[in-house]
Amino acid sequence: MAGAAQATEFQPSGNLGLTQTFYGNSGSYKTATAHPSLVFNYQFAPKWSIDIEWDRTWNLHSYNGGRKQQNNDFSQPDATLNYSYGTLGDSKVDWSSSLKIETQSNFNNNSQAYVMAQTVFDFSRYLPSNDYLKSTQFALAPMYVYGKNISGPSGKVHTAGLGLLTNWTLPANFSLTVNAYVFKDWYNGTFVISNNNTNYKNATYFMLSAWLEYSKILHQFNAKTSLAFNFSGGFDPYIMSNRRASWDPFLAGNDMNQWLSPTVMEGNYKRTYDLFATPQLSLTYNVNKNFSINAFVQVKYSNQVWGQTEKDWRFQPQGGFGLSYGF
């Protein structure tokens, strides 16, 4: 009996990872940028975990403010505390909540801080599954976001929303993620959005993120080294709004599959979408059971302008390496 008790005893576990991505120019757009991403995940109690991530970009050449250029100096650290309640009563609904704190800095004396509270009710265990389609998430997620300027002119934004979060396992190593959101922003101060004629103190949004993912081992060189082909692509995101004004809602960036925004954002959120496709080759070497190294090359094909007149589709070469340590 003592041995059985030890076998089920909780053991904290975690992962520390670094991914360094280098971005080339996209057609005539000068977009060469470096993007390090440091991630730490730790399950420190049976129901509690924490995720810490720091994303950063810096330019690989100087920007002079001319046409078809974008300055990508940006820093975004965030921390998320997660709690799993288990099943809701006698049902098969899995219930969890999270609290996220994030700061965003453009290094121009204009930085924001956000707090996002979310609770998730996952009904996926009620859905039928077969060899062709299996739901790994089908959840309703009420959420609230508070944003505030922490440097520069003062301003605030409040966001209340509801998300439908879904993930599906498909045949032949494919998976599909489809997330839909309805939310409303209330603005104050520097967060007030505007077009050429009108300032708005609130806006309502519908947002859809949908991407298909694929992964397959192309060649297993030996027990430690393998070459894989990966793919992701889809809407990232599609947004409709009742306001004709340019604005990047916090929830849009929080749910994006691709971390960098489109190169040029000249449209508005009356109706706008970002489409992308990113095939990748990745070489992985497992140093031991805890530590692995990978190098990858990929190309992103996407529309470079947001708005109703989508054009200027471009290829952007990308590459980099990653380190991962599990404990």
**Residue 4 per-residue DSSP state:** H
| Percent of the chain scoring above 70 in pLDDT | 92
**Mean pLDDT rounded to a whole number for the chain:** 90
Helices then strands, counting H and E runs in the chain, come out as 2, 16
- Asked whether residue 310 is assigned to any structural domain, the reply reads yes
Residue 33: pLDDT over 50: yes
pTM: 0.90
Instruction: Quick: pLDDT tens for 91-129.
Output: 999 999 999 999 999 877 889 999 999 999 999 999 998
- Asked whether residue 256 is assigned to any structural domain, the reply reads yes
- Asked whether residue 3 is assigned to any structural domain, the reply reads no
Residue 308: pLDDT over 70: no
- Asked whether residue 292 is assigned to any structural domain, the reply reads yes
pLDDT band at 10 (very low <50, low <70, confident <90, very high): very high
β-sheet bridge partners, residue 44: none
Q: How many domains does the chain have?
A: 1
Q: Which tokens is 274 given?
A: 């970002």
Alpha carbon 44 to its chain centroid, in Å, reads 24
- Asked whether residue 128 is assigned to any structural domain, the reply reads yes
Secondary-structure percent of the chain, ordered helix, strand, coil, rounded to 5? 5, 65, 30
pLDDT of the residue at 265: 65
| Backbone region of residue 63 per phi and psi (left: phi > 0; alpha: psi in -120 to 50; beta: other values) | beta
pLDDT of the residue at 266: 64
Residue 1: pLDDT over 50: no
pLDDT band at 267 (very low <50, low <70, confident <90, very high): low
Segments forming the whole domain that contains residue 84: 20-326
Q: Which tokens is 78 given?
A: 């965030």
Q: Which tokens is 325 given?
A: 């340590």
Half-sphere exposure of 107 (CA within 13 A, CB side): 10
Residue 65 near residue 72 (C-beta atoms within 8 A): no
14, 215, 239, 261, 273 from 252: Cα distances, Å: 28, 25, 9, 10, 11
- Asked whether residue 6 is assigned to any structural domain, the reply reads no
276/299 Cα distance (integer angstroms):
10
CATH of the domain at 257: 2.40.160
Instruction: Quick: pLDDT tens for 63-81.
Output: 676 677 766 688 999 999 9
What's the residue count for the chain?
327
- Asked whether residue 12 is assigned to any structural domain, the reply reads no
Taking every pair of Cα atoms in the chain, the longest distance, rounded to a whole number of angstroms, is: 75
- Asked whether residue 177 is assigned to any structural domain, the reply reads yes
Across 267-287, average pLDDT: 89
43/49 Cα distance (integer angstroms):
4
